[in-house]
Amino acid sequence: MSNYLSFNSAKDRTAALAAMGENINSCGMTVGNYYGSRTFTNITPNSTVLSEYNRGDYEYFRPNELLPRTTMEKIGASMKAYDDFGIIRNIVDLMGDFASQGVRIAHPNKRIQRFLNSWFKKINGQERSNMFLNMLYRCGNVVVRRLEGKISLKTAREMSTAANGIPNFDTPKQEKRQIPLRYVFYTPLSIELVGGDLAAFCDTKLYALKLSGIASRIKRTGISNQQDVDKLVAGLPPEIQQALKTGQKYVLFENQHQINVYHYKKDDWDTWAKPMIAPILKDLYMLDKLKLADLTALDGVVSSIRVWTLGHLDGVNSILPNKAALDKLRSEISQNTTGGVQNLVWGPELKMTETSSNAYNFLGKEKYEPTLEAIYTGLGIPQSLVGSGGTGFTNNYMSLKTLIERLEYGREILVSFWDKELKLIQEAMGHQEPGTVIFDEMVLSDEAAQSTLLLQMIDRNLISDETARDRIKINNDIEEVRIRRENKDRGQKMPPKAGQFHNPHVVDDYKKILLQGGSIAPSEVGINLEPRKKGEKTKNEQQMEMQTKVAETRQKGGTLNGRPISSKDSTKRKKKKVLPKAKADFTLASLYLTATNKYKAVSDILSKSFLDGLNKKNLRMLTVAEFNGLEKLKFAVFSNFDPMLEVNEENVYSILEDNANLNKDISITYSGLLKEFITNNDREPNTDERRSLEISAYIIHFSGESE
């Protein structure tokens, strides 16, 4: 029977088309029934509605890509993703490293702190902390077993006095001093919570070890000799050996108090916490499939097909090759085994057609970007941190906050774990207080602005020191003990504190003032002077001799310089010359320049001494009250300087010792200048303008006196 309808005339063609239409109407569509799908048939005659193709249908035909459904399956898949995907391993390791960086133990008692430091080194506390957080971020659940042991009194003393060394632990028969010596982590896949979901309602939880994994591992060792197997089993804990002999599937841990289980944001109704990697498993499978697609495309990039056509078919003018022509062409093609261009000399009946793949268009990073972005977002990693640009400040900021909060959350769980262990050590060793876990970087987020604000609030007594320490995660009780101990040692075992708010040379300043005032001798402050040269005199002695000589001369009725007292002029005085205006202006200008330089010299000496006394680096660090006080002191000292007196430290300190007050005449002149300035400018003068008024008052006073 022929499979086709044929016709030779227009009438036969009409009949053939009619028959074909009846065949189409009588032939219904066959609908495939996928996994879990529904199909609606005969909605209208010969019409069918297909249901959606969902994830269940996809997984039905691809069982290797089946997503985990139970919590344990998600934990197992997350741990496998950590092993298989470098991006997951790097991020989890990085989070664990950041959160556990610089973990150590602190205690207010130095002897106990040395003991705790030795213990922390013995148990590899830094590495155990890193492993704790790695398991927490990797599978969301941490199961750690504490292995305890007893230490002798001698070992405890060694640990309390050892600065850096790690003493060897022994296991004597003492009843006391039983402390943790080792911590072992278990995979949650090998642990069973007794009671399952019902255990969520129990206050005390019991954990058992699954033995199926242990038995299979023993078989995979390939040891055929039963004696060797017995030796291997003998190294296991006694309860596990007994359970393997009796064929039990689970074995309860003998000491349940040694089992510590911590979870990453576990719901109360769940037995185990869901890993943070679980929500991005779909994206991880997609990433793996994209890489597989690239691998497949790479295989097809270099593939090409060449079609050699010998002869041509064109009705009566067709040319068909014979066997000799085909063999000759086949032989020529097969001889070019090294590749490259092949040259053939042939007739017009030979034609070659070459086809190649364009799979290279599929290869590129663009198709990976949505998947990678979904993975990073699911882990809380901002795109700006991985060099992908990001989608805006808000999204990057929120992702960064998410990452920081996850690190802080993991660190809090780690601290709760170590706090519990340190409490056990306190009870075992009889310490008064337990140790405290601290980190090099107590705050993971960028809190520079907040720290500056806290410091400013402390300076203004708006918050307490305890509040500030709590905000930056520093134990207040420990710091108070340490501060009291350090303050007691200041000046004895430790040098005085130096800084912006502390003057370490207070006693030296007092000695300097007393020496300058002549109240004490140099030997009273510990200064050993060398013998004085013959005929050498101090400045005070020279002044004393001069004053004595003046007094004696005046007592005799004479003077050292000038004419005798009450004597009249023997010659007529010359008439006082009045300087021309240009000459007078020049004199005032010289006096103004001299006064300005004098004021600057006084200002430099007093500013340096003032800042040294307050232990501050520059004038910008002074308060408003301190700055105004310094300015008043400058003006007072400056007003007591004679125009002909040289400005140096000795003369400045000499005026200060005389309790220098502002010259009354200069003060009156300055008040008038200040009032006139305010009236003309309707404002108070600034610092530079005020200094100019002070210098002007000084010049007016002394220029008037010279007349």
pLDDT tens digits, 273-314: 889 888 888 888 888 888 888 877 776 666 667 777 877 766
CB count, 10 Å around CB of 68?
15
Residue 186 in this model has a pLDDT that exceeds 70: yes
Q: Which one-letter amino acid corresponds to residue 578?
A: V
Taking the CA atoms of 663, 668, 669 and 673 in sequence, report the sign of the dihedral they define: positive
611: tokens are 């800042």
Q: Distances in Å between the alpha carbon of 494 and those of 27, 445, 562?
A: 103, 34, 62
Element (H, E) at 77: helix 71-84
Which segments of 123-202 does DSSP mark as H helices, in order?
125-139, 153-161
pLDDT of residue 5: 55
- Gyration radius of the chain over CA positions: 49
Mean pLDDT of 657-663: 74
Higher pLDDT, 590 or 484: 484
Percent of the chain clearing pLDDT 70 (strictly above): 71
Higher pLDDT, 225 or 615: 615
Taking the CA atoms of 614, 615, 616 and 617 in sequence, report the sign of the dihedral they define: positive
Residue 232's nearest CA partner among 221, 242, 247 is 221
Q: What is the Cα–Cα distance from 15 to 20, expressed in whole angstroms? A: 9
Q: Which one-letter amino acid corresponds to residue 405?
A: E
pLDDT of residue 175: 43
The pLDDT tens digits for 568-621 are 666 666 554 444 444 444 455 667 777 888 888 888 888 888 887 777 878 878
List, in order, residues 6 or more apart from 251 with CB less than 8 Å away. Answer: 208, 209, 211, 239, 240, 242, 243
pLDDT of residue 346: 74
pLDDT of residue 39: 61
Helix, strand, or coil (residue 187):
coil
Of 382-386, 438-442, 585-589, 644-648, the range with the lowest mean pLDDT is 585-589
Average pLDDT, the chain: 75
pLDDT of residue 192: 87
Indicate the pLDDT class of residue 29, thresholds 50, 70 and 90.
very low
Residue 124 in this model has a pLDDT that exceeds 50: yes
Exposure of 459 in the CB half-sphere (CA atoms within 13 A):
10
pLDDT of residue 579: 43
List, in order, residues 6 or more apart from 478 with CB less than 8 Å away. Answer: 106, 107, 108, 436
Residue carrying the six token digits 């400013």:
456
Higher pLDDT, 456 or 707: 456
Residue 92 in this model has a pLDDT that exceeds 80: yes
pLDDT of residue 571: 66
pLDDT of residue 131: 92
Residue 480 in this model has a pLDDT that exceeds 50: yes
704: tokens are 């008037």
pLDDT of residue 707: 40
Indicate the pLDDT class of residue 643, thresholds 50, 70 and 90.
confident
Residues facing residue 185 across a β-bridge? 144
Element (H, E) at 141: strand 141-150
Asked if residue 36 lies in contact with residue 54, where contact means CB atoms within 8 angstroms, the answer is yes
pLDDT of residue 441: 66
Of 41-45, 125-129, 133-137, 672-676, the range with the lowest mean pLDDT is 41-45
Asked if residue 98 lies in contact with residue 133, where contact means CB atoms within 8 angstroms, the answer is no
Q: What is the Cα–Cα distance from 121 to 127, expressed in whole angstroms? A: 10
Mean pLDDT of 92-98: 88
261: tokens are 């289980």
pLDDT of residue 141: 92
Q: What is the Cα–Cα distance from 392 to 14, expressed in whole angstroms? A: 68
Mean pLDDT of 369-398: 68
pTM greater than the 0.85 cutoff: no
Residues facing residue 104 across a β-bridge? 438
Mean pLDDT of 133-144: 91
DSSP string, 454-487: HHHHHHTTSS-HHHHHHHTT--HHHHHHHHHHHH
Asked if residue 39 lies in contact with residue 49, where contact means CB atoms within 8 angstroms, the answer is yes
pLDDT of residue 666: 86
List, in order, residues 6 or more apart from 219 with CB less than 8 Å away. Answer: none
Residue 561 in this model has a pLDDT that exceeds 60: no
Q: Distances in Å between the alpha carbon of 403 and those of 30, 168, 237, 406, 410?
A: 52, 40, 40, 5, 11
pLDDT of residue 10: 67
Strands 207-210 and 48-50 turn out to be unpaired
The pLDDT tens digits for 338-373 are 556 677 777 766 777 776 666 656 677 788 888 888
Which segments of 640-686 does DSSP mark as H helices, in order?
649-657, 664-681
Mean pLDDT of 237-253: 77
Asked if residue 60 lies in contact with residue 34, where contact means CB atoms within 8 angstroms, the answer is yes
Q: Which one-letter amino acid corresponds to residue 631?
A: E
DSSP 8-state secondary structure symbol assigned to residue 192:
E
Residue 44 in this model has a pLDDT that exceeds 80: no
Residue 500 in this model has a pLDDT that exceeds 70: no
Q: Which one-letter amino acid corresponds to residue 232?
A: L
Indicate the pLDDT class of residue 503, thresholds 50, 70 and 90.
low
pLDDT of residue 578: 46
Percent of the chain clearing pLDDT 90 (strictly above): 2
Q: What is the Cα–Cα distance from 273 to 142, expressed in whole angstroms? A: 10
**pLDDT winner (highest mean) among 78-87, 466-475, 649-658:** 78-87
Phi first, then psi: give them for residue 556, nearest 5 degrees: -85, -5
Residue 671 in this model has a pLDDT that exceeds 70: yes
Q: How many residues does the chain have?
A: 707
CB count, 10 Å around CB of 136?
27
Residue 377's nearest CA partner among 286, 369, 68, 445 is 369
Higher pLDDT, 595 or 220: 595
The pLDDT tens digits for 433-453 are 888 888 876 555 555 666 777
First to last CA, the chain: 147
381: tokens are 């990693």
Residue 13 in this model has a pLDDT that exceeds 70: no
Q: Which one-letter amino acid corresponds to residue 213?
A: G
Q: Which one-letter amino acid corresponds to residue 536?
A: E
Residue 687 in this model has a pLDDT that exceeds 60: yes
pLDDT of residue 210: 83
pLDDT of residue 57: 77
Higher pLDDT, 31 or 216: 216
